[in-house]
Structure 1
Amino acid sequence: MFLTRVKKQKGQALVEVLIGMSLFALISSSVSFLVIDSYNVEQQSSDIEIATAYGNEGFEAIRSIKDNNWARILESVDGMTHGLDDTSGNWTISGVDNMFSKFTRTIEFLDVYRDTGGRGDIVVSSDPGAVLDMHTKEVSIRVSWNEPRANTLELMEYISNWSSSDWMQTDWSGGDGQSFWADATRYDSDDGKVDISSTGEIKLKEVVNTCDDHSWSFDTPANYNYDSDKIEVVSSYAQLKGSVSGQIADTILDVLEYDTVNGTYPSIINISGDVYAVAYTGSGNDGYVATVQIASNGQIANSRIDVLEYDTVNGTYPSIIHVSGGVYAVAYTGPGNDGYVATVGIAANGQIANSVIDVL
């Protein structure tokens, strides 16, 4: 009986040791998993932040390209991915992607369609009544990386050539609102330079490597009206006069600090005579319009005429145009990076109304 009891006690101790070792291994592996998983979460968060920065840089570059030449955007709507390059000092669309260490950025430009039967909302191309918006494009930016596993961050933004002008048929023989142009009676006349081959479209025929067949003689000043202080005739060519053989003067004529705190993204327009308006991003990234006086000889008045803060929250990338009379419109990026248009009143003498007329 004594020997049997001792053997049972030894077996029980062995079982207890094995259970203890198993619990220790389980707890150790759980702690290791928690440490590794915490590291992965922190690394993933850092990677997303870096990828977002690369995406936002892409949008900034595209806005710059759009403002300089909308045609570069139109020709990039080709179903391909694109990259960016700024080695020339200006952003350009170049290549198929951009590599940043483990990150790859690609940009795609897409057409945008609107519902003509309603409020002009953006719709898919297959939507009934959808019409291509030639002045708006969708920009899709993807930033991908494969460490510690495959990831892709996708950002989207709409850009618009809002200042472009459209024409509408109003008084041709076929009447206004015509949609089918293959009938020659629906427009005035065709001199061989009108292309009506596509239903619903009318456009000028492309002329390659040549100019139109009209010319004027500039042999003598009597053939045209001109300002002799600014234009001269040389070897049958009319050209602008330069200070020294067309060279730019070595010094600045005059300068005015129109905002002593901040004055980024300026857009300038002539109001009347020597009065000009500058829309810009001022203090706190708010939107401002200031008027200044610039004489024809380049001399600038010592102080601005007037100033208006048209957006007290955010007013970046402004662009100002003349609407009618003393009314001007400023398109800009407002709060939340949303697009806004504000109208302001500016008199011929540079005085600005105390508040915006309207905003959208």
Structure 2
Amino acid sequence: MINNKGQSLLEVIVALAIFALISATMVSLSTGGFVSMNVGGEQTEAQALAGEGVEAVRAIRDRAWNELTFTTSSVATSTGQWIFSGENTTAQLDNYFRTISFDSVCRDVSNNIVACPGLYTDAQTKKVTSQIDWPVRNTTNTVKQVTYLTNWDALNWVQTNWLGGSGQSVWSDITKYFSDDGNVNASTTGNLQLKYTPSSGCGPMIWDFSNQYSYSYDNSKIEVVGGFGQLKDIGSCSGTTSTCATLTSQSSCQALAGCSWTPSYASTNPTINNFFSYTPSQISYWSGFSETAVPNGGVIYYQLSNDDGVSWKYWNGSAWVTSTLATNYNTSSTINTNIITFPTSTKKMMFKVFLVSDGNNLVKLDQVQIDCSQIYDWDFETPASYNYPTTTIIVSSSMAQLNNLGSTSVCSGTTTVCSTIVSSTNCTTAGCSWSAGGDTTYATTSPSISSVISLSLPTTTFYKWTRFIETATTNGGSISYQLSNNDGTTWQFWNGSAWATAGAENYNSASVVNTNINTFATSTGKLMYKAFLTSNGTQLVQLDNIQVWWQETTGVSSYATLGSVISSAYNLSDISPVSVISWTPDLSACSNCSIKFQIRTASNNGGVPGTWSPWYGVNGADDYFIDYRGSIIPKVLNWNQWVQYQAWLLGDGNSTPILNDVTVYYK
């Protein structure tokens, strides 16, 4: 017989255990379900907020593409529309934080999207990431939505032809534009390029009288023969026979026995001048005038013209004035002394020669040379353009000078400009006063200052350096120089007979450099200087300006190095945002050439442009757009009705960039 004693109690215990286990499981499942439901709800809300961020950016894009210029920003609403809150901002939305980031989109040669940098950055596409972050227990959950936005619905204004020329203020004829600087050529359909200039460069131009057809003169009194422009012998023949008196040339007279020739020359001061003006493409100064002549007791005088001979000028002792009398002229020496002040605005030079004889003097002119020079100034306006030790030299107020190493002196006053002045010499502005510090002392180690970048000229047209001029106040100290033609890799000085590699203390005064710079190497077309400021410790050495002069070869055809075109004003129809500018260049023949643009806009004023904004580039006013594949136009130019571009073509003198078309995008 089976004993069941105690079995009921055991069953109760087991039943209770099973019930507890099932209850715990049910509670756990219920709690987990509630947590999962809560997390799922947060995820859904985060996704919605991320999507809202994308849609907000899309709405801003639809309004104005050029507002998408941030790296990261949140969005907010203002006056019923979405706006960006600003760079590096994040929006808190209850328990969520939303940040929107923007990435540039780069493309390859096939215009496929690739990792940046790629071949180019697409200004018409942006990668947008809307990110939501929110805290969960001891961690942070994140949701992202990523999309690509494009400027797909932009309108565009395109110009592909400039053949119609300038003079059109408001866009109507698609081949015309408003104005240019005279250095562009629009004569070929479908492109704009720099003007080809067959005339001479700016250098020594020589007239050698080898071609009679290059000059204008009275051939009864003057002849161009044998490389001379000279008075013609208009003498007479006489002799023992009556035939002699009928002979009118020296050769025929002397060929007849019994006849002799008596030379005679016009005594009416006949003139000869060059047919065509010398017209260099660029000029800073007319820098020299010389003659090679055999006057034989006569005299040669000159007048000059800068308007193709319409009027003639002479030096009256104090200025160049229009000649009103037949004897208003000068010797070549007087002209050479004063030609530097002859007007250069027209870039034209013509000379008229007066051959003055008493009738017995055979006045012969072998050669006339007129020098044209260009100049470059280092004016110490921008400190970043120069290399120098900032402890011993300062560059301020358009001056490089030794720094006072003694106790500090201060310029102060009622205007804000006073505090920017660092020397007593320049602390003379009204309302400014100089408070001297303690002992004044300057470096005695001859610290140096040099230009950061060489002056670089086209080697195909560069002829020679001609002058080196300093403007300085040395106060008993001195300034010495070394020169470089290889961007400062090596430095040279004049050793008394030649330019040689310089040691640390091998340098020359500006006067010595100026005397010998015409023999400084020209093969690279480059010039860089190093100036040594030498003081005994008490002398304030100040350098205001360095000026170098040079000449080009003449008789060499070339392209202009800079040309610009301003378009007609284009009507956007209503107040609109502009967005992107792009263009198609052809630089295949000109590796050192480039094309850049500027944009400006104006409000409407009765069907014509109102007041124009400043010219803008990619980084603001007075800047340029340089990426031809596309650059975003600053949004400050938005919400006007008229737009206008200015194109700049930059060449090297040997060839030209070509502009095929330009497109301005707007809404």
Q: By the TM > 0.5 criterion, same fold?
A: no
Please report the TM-score for the alignment, with normalisation by the length of structure 1: 0.42
More strand, by proportion = 2
Q: Which has the larger radius of gyration?
A: 2
Q: Kindly indicate which of the two structures has a greater share of residues assigned to helix.
A: 1
Name which structure has the greater RCO, CA cutoff 8 Å, separation 6+. Answer: 2
Q: How high is the TM-score relative to the length of structure 2?
A: 0.24
